Amino acid sequence: MADDALNIDDLIPQLDSEGMIGYTESFVSDIEKGIAVVNDEHLPWMKDLASTEWSGVLCLGMGGSAAGGDFLARMADASGSKPFVVHRGYSVPSWWDPSWLVLATSHSGNTEETVAATEAALKQGATAVVVASGGILAGLCELYERCHLIPSIGGQPPRTAFGHLFSRQLALVERLGFIPQQSEDERDAMLVRLEYACQTNDFRKPSGAPLLDLAMAMKEHPLSLLGPSEMQPALIRFKNQLNENSGRFARIGVVPEMNHNELVAWGGVSDDADPAREDQATLFLTWDGLHKRVSSRIDWMIEHTPTDYAWRIHGEGTSLLEVLLHHCIVMDWLTIALAFLHGKDPSAIRPIQALKSYLADEASV
């Protein structure tokens, strides 16, 4: 793989126009710094929120800024005290009322769907916490008394800011008692292990050669991502990173649900070989906390999948939180490597920019 590694090293200065590798390297330090800024000294309004009895948390956001809500929802399902519902769109659900805390997240602070939904909630009496680097969303905190800001860090592509955003969300909901709080020793140990994972999956280093091999094996094949329900937020983020970083489509299947419908399509309509299925690269995201029956289902699927291009990516860690973050590290390095192998700048998102320009022109008419 030495020649391939050398080739990809040659591509980096040509294609990495916005320093995506640097942002990936800083993922763990972003988390550590984000957790540290969420405290009573910097954010005294948290005391009032902590003393209020909430029905649950409505997480508003789009794209990468909504990913943290997905992660929190799965963590709350596993060990939380309140339900978390993630809502993507211009409005709030009809069932929502002000007994639900609103957590609105937008890296730029200008995501139009999130701004509209947050303002609609505030006009109905919501208490909202905004996580943003600025923009219109942050400005709502100056207009509405019950709208509070946790400032984030700007100046980078939104999908690279997950560490900044999620760490602030996580620290907030732990402080409010919605999710059990890690001890300081547990968190420090987790961050050390995650930093090790970040360094060893760097495809520029000898330790990252297996990840680069995987990216090369995936390069010419349609992509599928499969995993258990608790890994669903990682599957969604993985798909989104493939879409944006690598410019690739990917499909998601969640076990056991997909065993009751999609599994039939994997078998096809006849016993004849189907090139589309046999050519599909499939990644199974797993972890040590798999339900025994789900583990058996995934083992069966790996054995019987019609493709020769199937891999298991096992999330490492002592908690669901750590496993999800470990998967984030692997997917970020993998999707950036795949972008370079395709000759794509991983920061380039021209179709999204074109759509935003069109919508801006429409709004000005």
Sequence-distant (≥ 6) Cβ neighbours of residue 20 within 8 angstroms: 157, 160, 245, 336, 346, 347
Angle of helix 64-79 relative to helix 162-175, nearest 10 degrees, comes to 30
* Domain range 20-181, CATH architecture: 3-Layer(aba) Sandwich (3.40)
Structure tokens at 321: 């939180």
Residue 270: the pLDDT is 58
Residue 100, beta-bridge partner list? 56
Going by pLDDT thresholds of 50, 70 and 90, the confidence category of residue 267 is confident
pLDDT of residue 4: 47
Domain boundaries, the chain: 2-17+206-341, 20-181
Q: Render pLDDT for 122-147 as a digit per residue (tens, 0 to 9).
A: 999 999 999 999 999 999 999 999 99
d(CA 56, CA 98): 10
Tell me how far apart the alpha carbons of residues 182 and 185 are, in angstroms, rounded to a whole number: 8
- Residues 200-220: tens digit of each pLDDT: 999 999 999 999 999 999 999
Of the candidate ranges 6-20, 118-132, 198-212, 283-297, the one whose mean pLDDT is the lowest? 6-20
Task: Grade residue 290 by pLDDT with cuts at 50, 70 and 90.
Answer: very high
Q: Find the mean pLDDT for residues 330-350.
A: 95
Rg of the chain, C-alpha, whole Å: 21
Per-residue pLDDT, 9: 81
Mean pLDDT of 307-322: 95
pLDDT digits (tens, 9 = 90+) for 215-263: 999 999 999 999 999 999 999 999 999 999 999 999 999 999 999 999 9
CATH level 3 topology of 2-17+206-341: Rossmann fold (3.40.50)
Contact between 284 and 310 (Cβ < 8 Å): yes
